[in-house]
Amino acid sequence: MSRDAVAAELVKVDARALKMPGLARAYETLAREARDSKWTYEEYLHEVLAAELASRSDSAVRHRIRDARFPEQKTLDSFDFNAAEGLDAAQVARLARCEWVKKAENVILAGPIGTGKTHLSIALGIEAAKQRFHVAFVRAADLVRSLVEARDKRELGRIQRRLSRVDLLAIDELGFVPFDRTGGELLFNAITERYERKSVLVTTNLAFSEWPKVFADDEKLTTALLDRLADRATVLTTRGKSFRMRRRQQTEAAQAAVPGGTPPFAALAPADDSTPPSTKASRIGGKKP
């Protein structure tokens, strides 16, 4: 084995021992560039260390995104602002800078089902993770269930401490499932404990006036929650028809335009189904997208 090959293997061994995978991946390419461009030793050292720093930064972001437990990866680039009604793309872009997270402020995304609230909440959460904030994404019903189970097991303090370490708590689908008094009080405490300390992002399909029915019709508790949540919040309101419904209608229209084509949902009916077409359309339209 040549002297250069021995030196290369030793560098890899040392990089592994020092837990510097970025340096291990980059040093050979940078060494060739250094020789060709006649870098000084100091310039080469700076470049390999910069490669390691960049690798660590990327790794930290990946871990934060993984730890947030997003149900899927959604980005602002993939959001169709042209089809979204009631949203200001410039305002969303400002939120993506995450100054509101630094200031422990909140965001409330309200609007009908299927109008992009969850997409935006995930995308803003990912932007926060990229800026090295600790993020947790959870559906409201799942959070309440976890809190109730932790209380029953006398482990409520543990989950409260874990939530307190999160810079941004994103609570999705508030309003889909009503809670009993116990669940409502636990969610109230989880949110209000973050007031002026850490950020909360909430998506909901309900107007504020309808929130009491989520919290066991407790008007006082709901008013106190909204007072704290909305005090330092940016409220975005989405409007219009469900994105999923639009896509389904566009797919059906495109299929129907093909000679001999069959609308996708017509294929779901059994061959011997004698139900009148108008009844079928009503039945299909009544399903949740």
Residues with Cβ within 8 Å of 255's Cβ and at least 6 positions away in sequence, in order, are: 261, 262, 263, 264
> In this predicted structure, what is the pLDDT of residue 72?
95
- Mean pLDDT by runs of 10 across the 289 residues of the chain is 86 94 94 95 95 93 96 94 87 97 97 92 97 97 97 95 97 94 95 96 95 94 94 90 60 63 49 44 40
Chain centroid to CA 252: how far? 30
> In this predicted structure, what is the pLDDT of residue 279?
41
> In this predicted structure, what is the pLDDT of residue 289?
40
Which CATH architecture fits 89-237?
3-Layer(aba) Sandwich (3.40)
> In this predicted structure, what is the pLDDT of residue 276?
45
> In this predicted structure, what is the pLDDT of residue 255?
64
Residues with Cβ within 8 Å of 147's Cβ and at least 6 positions away in sequence, in order, are: 156, 159, 183, 186, 187, 190
How many Cα atoms occupy the beta-carbon half-sphere of 151 within 13 Å?
13
Domain boundary assignment for the chain: 3-67, 89-237
Chain centroid to CA 286: how far? 28
User: How far, in Å, CA of 269 to CA of 280, rounded?
Assistant: 8
| Residues 186-207 as b or e (16 or more Cβ within 10 Å = b) | bbbebbeebbeebbbbbbbbee
Q: Position of tokens 């689908």?
A: 173
**Residue 172: which of 206, 212, 204 has the closest Cα?**
204
> In this predicted structure, what is the pLDDT of residue 277?
42
> In this predicted structure, what is the pLDDT of residue 84?
82
> In this predicted structure, what is the pLDDT of residue 114?
86
Phi first, then psi: what are they for 106, rounded to 5°? -125, 165
User: How far, in Å, CA of 127 to CA of 138, rounded?
Assistant: 17
- Greatest alpha-carbon pair distance for the chain in Å reads 83
> In this predicted structure, what is the pLDDT of residue 239?
85
> In this predicted structure, what is the pLDDT of residue 4?
82
Q: Please, are residues 215 and 225 in contact by the beta-carbon 8 Å criterion?
A: yes
> In this predicted structure, what is the pLDDT of residue 259?
67
pTM summary value = 0.76
